[in-house]
């Protein structure tokens, strides 16, 4: 509490001079709004995830929220979510074993807290950005909006929608100095007065600085929208993603508590055996209807089918004295089907002089998964591990696969009901209060061990926030929110005799902060927070008791937007103190992170960009035995727009050629960062 009190004093100091605020007008940033709304500041509509599921300006959301637009993604040549999170305070990336997105937000590690257009997208894979309108990162547990999981926060991709008012055909081609090549198309047209279609597609030949890495991926996303009546619209969307690449789990530690240096390109695996493939089919239908100016409803049905496989050989340890490396490996396959039905009713009304925005919602989800694992069997040991002399390249023994060592089927069924009220308490105060009920039922069939496990949890998740607005463009808030995670892992495959007896883990987020729209498109946000992760243990007398297994305290600040007509800047800083119950520090949580990107347009045709990211040293795991050192990476960009509108773009990454290790999975799987490299992009629009 001392930390929160000190933070409150610091934040109050920032709001002590409201006379500095811009009281002038400004247009709504139309890249973040679906309907025209005559207000100042930035809105996120209820067609997208907003932290409230209602049409609410960001300044009135009592929680930390970062939004990265498609323009920023293109400008900085981001290709995946890891790039986005490097410029997000309070969030960092994990290695993900070289085959998936993995994030740590406010000290909480997850492979499943991902959403697409507000609906869960939780299979382990690398999510492309070709069809993204914006990426939204909301920090702090909040099951009221998201449901289970999201202990530290969530990442949502809001996809591009058809536009009735524009005929667009845009093409982009990109290549970098490692040999990676990609191309994308964005086509939009109105096919009648009431219907429009948009098609986004991309293809990519993968390459990087690591020996033997390579692969291909492509995706396509046609979307159709039609107005069934002046008050009703229907959106239909289908996305297909195919990804085939080498799995790279980096380098081991050197035995002295540091990553093995000098082997930034060396591959501890086999290009033939280290492989991952994904095919994803995601189909969605959304119906929106407005009963009146103050009452609307939306219903979304999404079906997603994922087929994922990965094989990997990786370093389990390294002995510099004996000049040997120990290798391990396995093959893992997952097939999953997700069916989600979500309905939200939003009503605006007044009672007793108080204005209300009431949300009432329901969600049903059914998730069926099949997962199997086979160990590698090395011919020299007839085991899943082998120790060999360290040579360049590795002289690997012959490899086969064992019979399955894991074979499971799981069926998860979730029913959720939630309600939230946003109340204007006079001119200067707003109150947000909500509660969600989740009934989470899981059945696991452990085929390998001929055992079956089941558990049903019924959880209540509250959310509360109060906002003080001394001026229309300044807010200070305090909030409390809660989330939970059943004891079957974030992929819901790990139920056992012991875990099936335990209640879910709980996440409690306390936060205070300020938001200041300095101009209509330039804002400052800051927050201090305390997040506790409590887990259930069984006492000697058979009773459940909750103990705090981790506590993260921190501070975040962001300043970003269009500072002048020619200058746009985004600055972020976070401090995180993530401590586990035994007093050790959580793995993969840098204490200090700083990011800075700015673009200055020298003229209407020429722009230049410069960025800096700093990441403090971090432990590779909770063992605290291996430390990845801190680093500073400098990036730059040059942008030239030809008279016909074609854009020529050069992005230079790691301009100072810093040697660094940005991510890890454990003490012996640590990713070396890329050296100095450049990416050239051509974008044109018809």
Look at residue 16 in the predicted model and tell me its pLDDT. 42
Both tokens of 593, joined, read: 């992170």
* Mean pLDDT score of the chain: 91
pTM, to two decimals: 0.91
* Residues 41-59 as b or e (16 or more Cβ within 10 Å = b): bbbbbbbbbbbbbbbbbbb
What mean pLDDT is predicted for residues 113-125? 94
Q: Among 208, 213, 186, 206, which Cα is nearest to 198's?
A: 186
pLDDT of residue 304: 98
In the chain, where are the structural domains located? 2-685
pLDDT at res. 536: 78
- For residue 1, the model assigns a pLDDT of 45
Using pLDDT thresholds of 50, 70 and 90, give the confidence band for residue 498. Answer: confident
Does the structure show a pLDDT above 80 at 26?
A: no
Tens-place pLDDT, residues 222-253: 999 999 999 999 999 999 999 999 999 999 99
Average pLDDT over residues 287-304: 97
Position 499 scores a pLDDT of: 87
* Residue 19 banded pLDDT, cuts 50, 70, 90: very low
- Residue-wise pLDDT for 266-287, tens only, equals 999 998 899 999 999 999 999 9
pLDDT tens sequence across 144-173: 999 999 999 999 999 999 999 989 899 999
Dihedral sign for Cα atoms in the order 503, 507, 510, 516: negative
CA atoms within 13 A on the CB side of 632: 6
pLDDT beyond 60 at 4: no
Q: Looking at the predicted structure, is the pLDDT value of residue 385 above 80?
A: yes
State whether the Cα torsion 256-259-263-266 is positive or negative. Answer: positive
Strands 324-351 and 275-292: unpaired
Positive or negative, the Cα torsion across 401, 404, 406, 410? positive
Q: Kindly state the average pLDDT of the residues 51-64.
A: 87
- pLDDT at position 217 over 80: yes
More confident residue, 523 or 495: 523
Q: What's residue 21's pLDDT?
A: 36
Average pLDDT score over residue span 431-441: 97
Nearby residues of 292 by Cβ (< 8 Å), 6 or more positions away: none
Which among 598, 584, 585, 681 is positioned nearest to 639, based on CA atoms? 681
- Report domain 2-685's class: mainly beta
Q: What is the pLDDT of residues 352-361, one digit of tens each?
A: 889 999 999 9
3-state class percentages of the chain: helix first, strand second, coil last, to nearest 5: 5, 60, 35
Cβ contacts of residue 489 below 8 Å, gap of 6+? none
For 514-558, what is each residue's pLDDT tens digit?
999 999 899 999 999 999 999 877 665 666 666 778 999 999 999
Residue 227 makes CB contacts below 8 A (sequence gap 6+) with 194, 195, 233
96 φ/ψ angles, rounded to the nearest 5 degrees: 65, 30
Our measurement of the distance from residue 136's CA atom to the centroid of its chain's CA atoms, rounded to an integer in Å, reads 8
Strands of 119-120's sheet in order across: 64-69, 132-139, 153-159, 114-116, 119-120
Give the range among 41-55, 194-208, 371-385 with minimum mean pLDDT: 41-55
Sign (positive or negative) of CA dihedral 110, 151, 367, 132: negative
- The Cα 662–Cα 672 span in angstroms is 7
Q: Which residue has the higher pLDDT, 47 or 291?
A: 291
Q: What confidence tens digit (pLDDT) does each residue in 628-669 have?
A: 999 999 999 999 999 999 999 999 999 999 999 999 999 999
Q: Does residue 11 surpass a pLDDT of 50?
A: no
Q: Rounded to an integer, what distance in angstroms lies between the CA atom of residue 414 and that of residue 459?
A: 11
Q: Nearest Cα to 114, choosing from 105, 106, 319?
A: 105
Alpha-carbon gap, residue 522 to 596, rounded angstroms: 15
The predicted-structure confidence for 564-579, as pLDDT tens digits, reads as follows 999 999 999 999 999 9
543: its two tokens: 């009773």
**Is residue 17's pLDDT more than 90?**
no
């Amino acid at each position: 509490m001392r930390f929160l009190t000190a933070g409150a004093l610091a934040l109050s100091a920032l709001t002590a001079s409201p006379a500095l605020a811009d009281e002038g007008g400004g247009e709504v940033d139309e890249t973040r709004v679906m309907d025209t709304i005559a207000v100042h500041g930035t809105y996120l509509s209820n067609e997208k995830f907003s932290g409230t599921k209602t049409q609410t300006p960001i300044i009135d959301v009592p929680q930390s929220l970062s939004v990265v637009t498609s323009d920023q993604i293109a400008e900085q040549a981001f290709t995946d979510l890891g790039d986005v999170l490097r410029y997000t305070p309070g969030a960092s990336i994990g290695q993900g074993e070289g085959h998936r997105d993995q994030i740590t937000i406010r000290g909480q590690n997850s492979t499943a807290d991902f959403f697409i257009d507000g609906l869960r997208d939780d299979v382990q894979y690398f999510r492309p950005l070709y069809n993204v309108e914006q990426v939204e990162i909301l920090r702090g547990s909040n099951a009221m909006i998201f449901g289970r999981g999201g202990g530290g926060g969530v990442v949502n991709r809001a996809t591009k929608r058809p536009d009735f008012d524009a005929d667009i055909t845009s093409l982009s081609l990109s290549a970098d100095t490692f040999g990676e090549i990609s191309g994308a198309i964005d086509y939009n047209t109105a096919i009648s007065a009431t219907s429009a279609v948009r098609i986004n597609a991309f293809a990519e030949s993968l390459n990087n600085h690591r020996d033997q890495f390579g692969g291909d991926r492509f995706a396509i996303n046609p979307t159709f929208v039609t107005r069934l009546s002046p008050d009703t619209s229907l959106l239909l969307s289908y996305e297909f993603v195919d990804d085939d690449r080498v799995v790279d789990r980096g380098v081991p530690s050197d035995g002295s508590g540091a990553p093995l240096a000098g082997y930034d390109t060396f591959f501890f695996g086999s290009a033939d055996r280290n492989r991952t493939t994904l095919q994803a089919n995601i189909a969605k239908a959304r119906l929106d209807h407005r009963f009146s100016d103050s009452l609307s409803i939306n219903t979304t049905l999404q079906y997603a089918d994922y087929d994922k496989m990965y094989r990997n050989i990786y370093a389990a340890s390294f002995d510099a004295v004996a000049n040997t490396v120990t290798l391990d490996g396995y093959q893992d396959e997952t097939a999953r089907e997700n069916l989600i039905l979500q309905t939200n009713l939003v009503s605006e009304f007044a009672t007793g002089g108080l204005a209300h925005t009431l949300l009432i919602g329901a969600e049903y989800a059914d998730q069926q998964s099949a997962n199997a694992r086979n160990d590698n069997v090395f011919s020299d040991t007839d085991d899943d591990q082998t120790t060999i002399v360290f040579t360049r390249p590795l002289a690997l023994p012959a490899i086969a696969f064992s019979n399955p060592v894991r074979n499971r089927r799981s069926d998860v069924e979730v029913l959720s009901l939630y309600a939230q009220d946003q109340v204007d308490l006079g001119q200067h105060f707003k109150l947000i209060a909500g509660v969600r009920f989740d009934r989470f039922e899981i059945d696991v069939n452990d085929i390998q061990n001929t055992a079956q496990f089941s558990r049903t949890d019924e959880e209540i998740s509250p959310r509360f926030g109060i906002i003080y607005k001394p001026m229309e463009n300044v807010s200070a808030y305090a909030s409390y929110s809660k989330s939970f995670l059943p004891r079957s892992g974030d992929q819901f495959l790990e139920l056992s005799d012991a875990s099936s007896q335990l209640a879910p883990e709980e996440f409690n987020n306390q936060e205070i902060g300020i938001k200041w729209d300095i101009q209509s498109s330039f804002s400052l946000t800051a927050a201090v927070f305390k997040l506790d992760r409590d887990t259930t243990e069984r006492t000697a007398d058979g009773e459940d008791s909750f103990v705090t297994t981790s506590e993260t305290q921190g501070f975040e600040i962001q300043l970003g937007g269009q500072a002048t007509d020619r200058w746009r800047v985004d600055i972020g800083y976070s401090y995180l103190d993530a401590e586990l119950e035994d007093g050790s520090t959580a793995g993969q949580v840098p204490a200090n992170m700083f990011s800075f990107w700015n673009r200055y347009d020298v003229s209407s045709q020429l722009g230049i960009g410069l960025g800096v990211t700093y990441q403090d040293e971090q432990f590779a795991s909770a063992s605290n035995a291996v430390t990845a050192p801190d680093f500073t990476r400098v990036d730059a960009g040059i942008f030239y727009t030809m008279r016909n509108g074609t854009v020529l773009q050069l992005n230079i990454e790691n301009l100072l050629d810093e040697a660094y290790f940005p991510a890890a999975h454990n003490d012996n799987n640590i990713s070396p960062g890329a050296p100095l490299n450049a990416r050239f992009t051509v974008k044109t629009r018809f």
